[in-house]
Amino acid sequence: MGLFDIFSGDSARAAAAQKEASVRQGYSELASLFGQGRDALASNAGKAAGYYQPIYDTALKGYGALADALGLNGADGNTRARAAFAAAPGYEAQLQAGLDAIDRGAAARGTLSSGGTRAAELKYGNDLAAQGWSNYLNALAGYGGQALGAAGGLGNLYSGLGSGLDASYRGLGQSAYNSALGVGNAKAEAEMADYNASQNLWKTILDGANTTARIYALAQRGGLSRTKG
């Protein structure tokens, strides 16, 4: 600091400006890091959801098929359930294989076109359908738990993402407040620098005036003393 710096706020204003610039730069860098963190959170959550989502989608279809089969979705659901059951892999082949076996046995006995053969075929088809329907329901029942588990996994995943983003934005908001406070303090210091410099100038002027007045008074007293002598 120079000898006459007390009469000027230039140095203090320069320091305050540097402080303000540092605060702004620090906030900018911190905001960038917060942004990178949020991007990483969202990216990782997206990857994790990519593992859960196919399971959930498939399980939800199975859960819907179970609701159809149980009659929970009305007549349209029943129609879908029968169509899905009939189209199940292996059912048609198993049915045809069983009927063919009955026909071969009947043919060997010469009773292929008899009522007994037709009754045997009908019974086999009904028994196979009943057994297959029971197995079909048991297979679908597991999808309810899978859908629930996958939904829970997705829920926890997005809940964690929300919590992480909330913490990030809260931290950024607090940093923005601290930055604004630092900038405000720097501006206040710059304003006070001019005020203090003005005060120092006027104090020096007044002190000089008082000193001059005292010297003048002393000189006057000295002059009076010489006159009386």
Predicted model pTM: 0.49
pLDDT at position 213 is 63
- 1 in helix, strand or coil? coil
pLDDT at position 1 is 42
d(CA 182, CA 118): 94
Q: Where are the domains positioned within the chain?
A: 9-196
> What is the chain's pLDDT, residue by residue, as a tens digit (229 residues)?
443 444 444 666 677 777 778 888 888 888 888 889 899 889 888 888 888 888 888 888 888 998 998 899 999 998 998 888 877 777 666 776 776 777 777 677 777 677 777 887 778 677 777 777 888 888 888 888 888 888 888 888 888 888 988 889 888 888 888 888 888 777 777 666 665 655 555 565 566 666 666 665 666 665 555 555 5
The helix-helix angle for 10-69 and 74-86 (nearest 10°) equals: 80
CA neighbor of 25 nearest in space, from 183, 194, 137, 172: 183
pLDDT at position 6 is 42
Evaluate whether 182 touches 29 at the Cβ level (below 8 Å): no
